[in-house]
Structure 1
Amino acid sequence: MPAELRAVLFDMDGTLVDTEGLWWQACVAVAAELGLELAGADAAHVLGRPVEHAAAHLLRRSLARRDRASSDGMTAHPGRVLPGEAPARSDETSAEAVGARLTEAFAERIAGGVTPLPGAIRLLDDLGAAGVPVALVSASPRRIVDMVLRTVGAERFRLVVAAEDTARGKPLPDPYLRAAAALGVDPSECVAVEDSPTGLAAARAAGCRVVAVPGGVPAPYGVLAVESLEKVDLALLRLLTAGKISVG
């Protein structure tokens, strides 16, 4: 018997709201404070990732840069700090500090409000009118999620899963598994809507049907790719859940 759509689980940044560019800007700014310049290769380590993961990546790069500088004779003594670098601290303290700075830099950039992506509000309202439970499943901290919900409307979501709500974040399935369990539904009865490779991997690993709003990111096998949420409606999501739409 075909599965029935029981819930829709949405990523936030880059899926419902146009904030992914602001997050990248925040990462670039904090990286610069550490004397680093981000490039395309860094995107997989910061986009769609929890703050802690991005902070750890920046810290690893910063420490590697210091080690290279020391081996090249650029440091006169072990305590010397290179131009543009943060003072040396323990790895744990540094990771926490970098994470806090990333969150602060991101919050500064979204404080003035965010822009919902085309089709997002219409789709959320259509699902609500049809009585389909909707959850927000974000890798962003709760503080950031709450700021975004001032624009999108917290009342549109039955449940919110933020970064602090699971011990392991995307690309592991834990956030989506938590959302499905809290809603009382099987992941196979849920459609997850994502935009990043990290999020797509998490949703697929959880066993959800998956819609990708790729924004130039190739969708993996088994994922329905659409140009924007304007192309998504309740009928499409029901057909996808029932396995009546061919994907990838």
Structure 2
Amino acid sequence: MDGTLVDTEPYWMAAETRLVDAHGGTWSHEQGLALVGMGLEDSARIFQAAGVRMGVHDIIDHLTDDVMVQLKTTGVPFRPGARELLANLRAEGIKTALVTMSMRRMAETVVELMDFEAFDIVIAGDDATRPKPYPDPYLQACDALSVTPAEVVAIEDSPNGLRSAVASGAATIGVPLMVSLVGAGAHTVWGSLEGKTVSDVTAFHAAHRAAEGARE
């Protein structure tokens, strides 16, 4: 979600900076970038190490609340082509899942602001048995959709997200935003989702499966 469907990373970074500042610490843009795609509990422990005197779940709730306020006051900044590609997939009857490390209440807020039923299921950070980069969130999504990872295309903007999707066995597309995806294992990288259609996704999936079959 964050960075792939919607460009909320600046919201998260602003919330992080305010939180650390309030506890007398300092927080840099580079530190914020290092958290992109990381599970919220792991991120919270980093904030504790930076001087935030709050419990892990209190930190998660505080940051989530801050970002949700920004979403409600500033709006949801959808990434170019993301909403259009989802609508195209849904029109073709293709199952879709949102796999995010954000809390479910925030994910549902974003989904509710879309003007069509974009996802069959949501796997959020508080649903995952283990966070990205473990494969668990994607495997849980596959189970919920009654599909195998070999049938899935995952789209991710972060190294941790890519590692999670690749480890699950899904064919994986990287769409970079704030951090480099070099070395994260994406099966292909698209500069943007703008102009992408179901045909592009299915062609990528077919080519990936053919390449996998040739290696077996």
Q: TM-score range by the shorter chain?
A: 0.7 to 0.9
Alignment partner, residue 98 of structure 1: 59
Asked if 1 retains the 8 angstrom alpha-carbon contact of 2:41 and 2:60, the reply is yes
Alignment partner, residue 123 of structure 2: 161
CA radius of gyration, larger in: 1
Q: Judging changes above 3 Å, is the alpha-carbon distance between structure 1 residues 217 and 231 closer, same or farther for their aligned structure 2 residues?
A: farther
Alignment partner, residue 2 of structure 2: 13
CA distance in 2, matches of 1:154, 1:175: 24
Moved more, 188-197 or 223-232: 223-232
Alignment partner, residue 69 of structure 2: 108
In structure 2, give the amino acid aligned to 1:180: C
Alignment partner, residue 81 of structure 1: none
Unpaired stretches in structure 1, ≥5 consecutive residues: 1-11, 63-84, 87-92
How does the TM-score come out when normalised to structure 2? Answer: 0.87
- Tell me the secondary structure at the aligned position of residue 232 of structure 1: coil
Q: Does 1:131 align with 2:93?
A: yes
Q: CA deviation at 1:153?
A: 4.4
**Superposed, which structure 2 residues align to 1:27-176 within 5 Å?**
27-43=16-32, 45-62=34-51, 86=53, 94-112=55-73, 113-153=75-115, 155-176=117-138
CA distance in 1, matches of 2:182, 2:17: 26
Q: CA deviation at 1:199?
A: 0.7
What is the total number of aligned residue pairs between the two structures?
207
Q: Does 1:238 align with 2:202?
A: yes
Q: CA deviation at 1:53?
A: 1.8
Asked if 2 retains the 8 angstrom alpha-carbon contact of 1:200 and 1:212, the reply is yes
Q: Judging changes above 3 Å, is the alpha-carbon distance between structure 1 residues 61 and 154 closer, same or farther for their aligned structure 2 residues?
A: farther
Alignment partner, residue 229 of structure 1: 193
CA distance in 2, matches of 1:108, 1:16: 18
Q: CA deviation at 1:41?
A: 4.3
Which protein, 1 or 2, shows the higher relative CO under an 8 Å CA cutoff with sep ≥ 6? 1
Query: Can you list the C-alpha shifts for 1:182-213, whole angstroms capped at 9, x where unaligned?
Result: 11111121000010111111111111111111
Alignment partner, residue 141 of structure 2: 179
CA distance in 1, matches of 2:82, 2:56: 34
How does the TM-score come out when normalised to structure 1? Answer: 0.77
- Tell me the secondary structure at the aligned position of residue 56 of structure 2: helix
How well do the aligned residues superpose, as a CA RMSD in angstroms? 2.1
Asked if 2 retains the 8 angstrom alpha-carbon contact of 1:45 and 1:53, the reply is no
Moved more, 29-38 or 192-201: 29-38
Q: CA deviation at 1:17?
A: 0.9
Query: Can you list the C-alpha shifts for 1:103-138, whole angstroms capped at 9, x where unaligned?
Result: 222222112330211111210111011111011111
Identity of aligned residues (%): 34
Q: Judging changes above 3 Å, is the alpha-carbon distance between structure 1 residues 147 and 154 closer, same or farther for their aligned structure 2 residues?
A: farther
Q: Judging changes above 3 Å, is the alpha-carbon distance between structure 1 residues 222 and 97 closer, same or farther for their aligned structure 2 residues?
A: closer
- Tell me the secondary structure at the aligned position of residue 16 of structure 1: coil
Could you tell me which of 7, 12, 24 is aligned with 2:13? 24
Alignment partner, residue 214 of structure 2: none
- Tell me the secondary structure at the aligned position of residue 207 of structure 2: coil
Q: CA deviation at 1:61?
A: 2.4
Asked if 2 retains the 8 angstrom alpha-carbon contact of 1:176 and 1:206, the reply is yes
